[in-house]
Amino acid sequence: MDNAPYHSVKLEKCPTSNWRKADIIQWLHGKGEVVDQTMIIPELLEVVRRIKPIYNKYIIDEMVLQQNKTVLRLPPYHCELNPIDLVWSVVKRHVKANNKTFKLPDVKNLLVKRIAKVDFVKYTIEEENKFWTLDDTVDELITE
């Protein structure tokens, strides 16, 4: 999955330095953490930082987990790992080059005809094979 904002909606918001002290304390109490009113915001945020990985979850990840699946997130700025982006680029370029009337039905017709010619599976396999032949590149991408 790419890193589009709508794919990265959090299940629950975790406190940040922009939060009011009282709200941070309330959030921490709700998680069963013992903190007191004398703690300053940086101290409270240190407690948040310690427990945040437990609560830092995405809605979509939890949805697919119920189906016994796991989301594999693509590294940022690696569109070559998301072939649909590359295919979409080809389709848009075709429409732009062949759009003579600028009428919506004609644009739709160009779009539909070009999409029908794209073999998404073949394209995806070709892109994937490029990376499997470059073991070092794949290893670097995975560890980033």
Q: What is the pLDDT of residues 100-112, one digit of tens each?
A: 999 999 999 999 9
The mean of the pLDDT values for the chain is 87
CA 27 – CA 16 distance, rounded (Å): 11
Lowest mean pLDDT among 46-50, 82-86, 113-117: 82-86
Query: Is this structure's pTM higher than 0.85?
Result: no
Residue 137 pLDDT > 60, yes or no? no
Tokens coding 22: 């009282």
CA 77 – CA 75 distance, rounded (Å): 7
Residue 15 pLDDT > 90, yes or no? yes
Tell me the helices (H) and strands (E) count for the chain, helix number first.
7, 0
CA 129 – CA 18 distance, rounded (Å): 45
CB 60 within 8 A of CB 10: no
- Higher pLDDT: 79 or 60? It is 60
Which residue, 72, 84, 79, is CA-closest to 131?
Answer: 79
Residue 65 pLDDT > 80, yes or no? yes
